[in-house]
Amino acid sequence: MKKLIALLCAVLFLGTGAQAIDVSAPSALLMEKETGTILFAKDEHAKLEPASVTKVMTLLLTMEAIDSGQLSYDTVITASAHACSMGGSQIWLKENEQMSVSDMLKAVCVVSANDCAVALAEQVAGSEGAFVERMNARAKELGMNDTTFRNATGLPADGHVTSAYDIALMSRELILNHPDIRQYTTIWMDTLRDGASSLVNTNKLIRFYDGATGLKTGSTDNALYCLSGTAERDGMELISVIMKAPTSAQRFEDAKSLLSFGFSTYALKEIVPEQALAPVPVELGTQATVQPVLGDSTHLLLEKSRAGELQQSVVLAESVPAPVAAGDQLGTLTVTAGGEVIAELPILAGEEVPRITFGQMLTRLLKTAFLSN
């Protein structure tokens, strides 16, 4: 249903303002987090080198390992020779140096530390190679069909490519389901090693764009300047992806243009029934009624000009036969604006109601007969 709502939003609202945005990068995309709706796209499936934006997937798999209990933020990692051999951005880990998962996440998010990215990968999967296999498998699960990962860092490697669209998909998965990553991606300046190592975020949006929440920069000679930049205002979080921008400054300007367009044009509305949903009678059930609830997909992305004129109508079944499973559809809440249907949200059974057995029915009849005498 969430995909259906996103499609409805895209069809109804995308065409109005996309042409007004000036983005110099050859490939770019703007996505709303909650619904996954694409608000702007420019050659979004071009297969390009992502540089360190690759680390969004490294962060995602690490956060999933933490949430599953495989790791904790306090887990201490011992740096391997392989992790310490990485070039490019790093915090200069020494072989056998020990550092917590939390500090390594900070180093990856703030200064794009390649050595820490590989150390985390090895801790999660045993080796960087095994971790890369997981990266590609997870990419397939997310529908990232333009992507092939060759390493956990984004350092140049033949065939290591992705697209603006795929970066938005993995960025959305990270910030939607692992919001704790913000404790690292929103840091502007910090230190490691008891203050001995200073960190300044490579993502200038964190300092200079109102509502910035992350996410990851990247640059190499071939990839040029890439960014997955996220920001939140008024309860709506947007993901702006820029690939192959000619300069570092231009990628941030392009990202700000996309984000500002999104925030000025769209609003995210959570739909809540205006009146309590009445219980629906159940025929031959172990209880007389079932309580309806609105499904999980209750957010609508709307043009701001229409967000204030929403109206609701509810249609519920007069009754339903038992058995009723939790999640069975009992009706529909229709949202309209100016007489135009914006979305039809399913109203579902909030509980299970089994069918009454013969013995239960007989007991019920006897009780009724006894009480009536």
Q: Catalytic: which of 27, 80, 89, 112?
A: 112
CA distance 168 to 60: 13
- Give residue-wise pLDDT tens across range 172-183: 999 999 999 999
Does residue 15 register a pLDDT over 60?
no
Residue 150 · residue 139 · CB < 8 Å:
no
Q: Copy the structure tokens of residue 345.
A: 């949200």
| pLDDT value at residue 363 | 74
Residue 97 has what pLDDT? 98
Give me the chain's average pLDDT, please.
92
Q: Residue 314 above 60 pLDDT?
A: yes
Q: Residues 150-178: pLDDT tens digits?
A: 999 999 999 999 999 999 999 999 999 99
Strand partners, 277: none
Residue 210: closest CA among 259, 172, 177? 259
Q: In the prediction, which pLDDT does 297 show?
A: 79
Is the per-residue pLDDT at 360 higher than 50? yes
Domain range 280-359, CATH architecture:
Sandwich (2.60)
Residue 3, pLDDT score: 42
**pLDDT range class, residue 11, cuts 50, 70, 90:** very low
At 5, is the pLDDT very low, low, confident or very high (cuts 50, 70, 90)? very low
- Active site annotation includes 55: yes
Give me the residue spans of the domains in the chain.
2-267, 280-359
Q: What is the pLDDT of residues 222-258, one digit of tens each?
A: 999 999 999 999 999 999 999 999 999 999 999 999 9
DSSP state letters, 22-76: ---SSEEEEEETTT--EEEEESTT--B--GGGGHHHHHHHHHHHHHHTS--TT-E
Number of CB atoms found within 10 A of residue 142's CB: 16
pLDDT tens sequence across 56-115: 999 999 999 999 999 999 999 999 999 999 999 999 999 999 999 999 999 999 999 999
CA distances from 32 to 48, 79, 85 (A): 22, 37, 38
Which bin fits 211, alpha (ψ -120 to 50), beta or left (φ > 0)? left
Catalytic residue among 52, 80, 163, 219: 52
Instruction: Clarify whether 72 is annotated catalytic.
Output: no
CATH topology of domain 2-267: Beta-lactamase (3.40.710)
Alpha-carbon distance 351 to 304, whole Å? 36
What is the average pLDDT across 353-365? 81
pLDDT higher than threshold 90 for residue 8: no
**Predicted local distance difference test score (pLDDT) of residue 9:** 42
Which range (1-15, 241-255, 330-344) has the least confidence?
1-15
